[in-house]
Structure 1
């Protein structure tokens, strides 16, 4: 089997995504081209398909540690052994089972959500790459009125869903080729929750919003 026909892993796709981001930063790709190539990279199944998005980018190639090993003939007398994964695309809280200071939500090419009666720590960190992250505070159990959220993101869609009386401050968020959309009150705090968001978003988006239907209930006095 040729190397171009080998299957690719999520780690390789993530590495190619980082190379494409670097190409955007160096002016070799527009944001539209970046999006198209990222879609191709995420859908790639083989080495040849993945390499195609880098073919015309000088100096952009997959690092040695991300390249697959050369295929070896199968020995019928030796059964392959299972090796547990060394990296999980989502790691839960870094504190106790109810969440504690320093809670971290991680996602790599994943869909991660926290909703329902989850315990919200005073400080929360989002570390994401090419993921969809949803933090729904509408039924959450709060330990403090003010929650600090620190974001370190590449190419993800992050949604903060808050109760009607909640306020959100996105002024401390730095965006690079991305967006920050605040669809709720910014302050001062008038309810049981005020979310302060800081950090950096690269080619991704952060949106603070109320649950679906809130505007209609407000319009009709419910």
Structure 2
């Protein structure tokens, strides 16, 4: 018989560890932790073997806000978001085939860091980000074409949100551009 998930002595899996590391990175990006605190907490999270040890590594973090992850999914057709829509902290976009259009230029972005995770089969994706946003493309695997993105030269780095794009794309191209105004 295995221990209940709430049992502090139950072992943790790699998914638990990865989620904890991501929370620590987000807390550092949100300026809730100093670099030294993050390093110490990361060390504890990466060496933790039980839920109790992992919880101890995260004790100094602010509580997680529920409802900060949303998924937009379609088997086919078009996925489109534009205008004044509320962008969650983590946005998962899944489509077997079809076009994806995300316009964040007029969207309500309440988080300093927004993760967009793409799981696309065929069809292209176009993402328009705010003028002052910083875009990071770590962990994005494209199967067919390279990403088209030209970073803006900025006079005030760190002013806008950080948009991190990751995931996988089969056949199609990802185009990212900054809004003109």
Distance of aligned partners of 1:196 and 1:131 in 2 relative to their CA distance in 1, 3 Å threshold? same
Larger Rg over CA atoms: 1
Q: Determine if the alignment matches structure 1 residue 140 to structure 2 residue 107.
A: yes
Instruction: Give the gaps of 5 or more residues in structure 1.
Output: 1-98, 218-222
Structure 1 residue ranges (4+ consecutive) displaced by more than 6 angstroms after TM superposition: none
Correspondent of 2:77 among 90, 110, 116: 110
Question: SS of the counterpart of 1:177?
Answer: coil
Per-residue deviation, 1:209: 0.3
Correspondent of 1:206 among 169, 174, 177: 174
The root-mean-square deviation of aligned C-alpha atoms, in Å, is 2.4
Deviations 1:131-154 (A, max 9, x none): 111111111111201101111111
- In structure 1, the partner of 2:144 is 177
Distance of aligned partners of 1:152 and 1:189 in 2 relative to their CA distance in 1, 3 Å threshold? farther
Per-residue deviation, 1:189: 5.3
Q: Does the 8 Å CA contact 1:170/1:182 hold for their aligned counterparts?
A: no
Deviations 1:15-34 (A, max 9, x none): xxxxxxxxxxxxxxxxxxxx
Q: Does the 8 Å CA contact 2:134/2:160 hold for their aligned counterparts?
A: no
Per-residue deviation, 1:186: 9.4
- In structure 2, the partner of 1:126 is 93
Question: SS of the counterpart of 1:190?
Answer: coil
Distance of aligned partners of 1:195 and 1:110 in 2 relative to their CA distance in 1, 3 Å threshold? same
Per-residue deviation, 1:191: 2.7
Question: SS of the counterpart of 1:139?
Answer: coil
Measure the CA separation in 1 of the matches of 2:135 and 2:86: 18
Instruction: Give the gaps of 5 or more residues in structure 2.
Output: 1-65
Question: SS of the counterpart of 1:179?
Answer: coil
Q: Which has the bigger relative contact order, CA under 8 A and spacing at least 6?
A: 2
Per-residue deviation, 1:176: 1.1
Per-residue deviation, 1:207: 1.4
Distance of aligned partners of 1:186 and 1:103 in 2 relative to their CA distance in 1, 3 Å threshold? farther
Distance of aligned partners of 1:171 and 1:151 in 2 relative to their CA distance in 1, 3 Å threshold? same
Quick check: which one's strand share is greater? 2
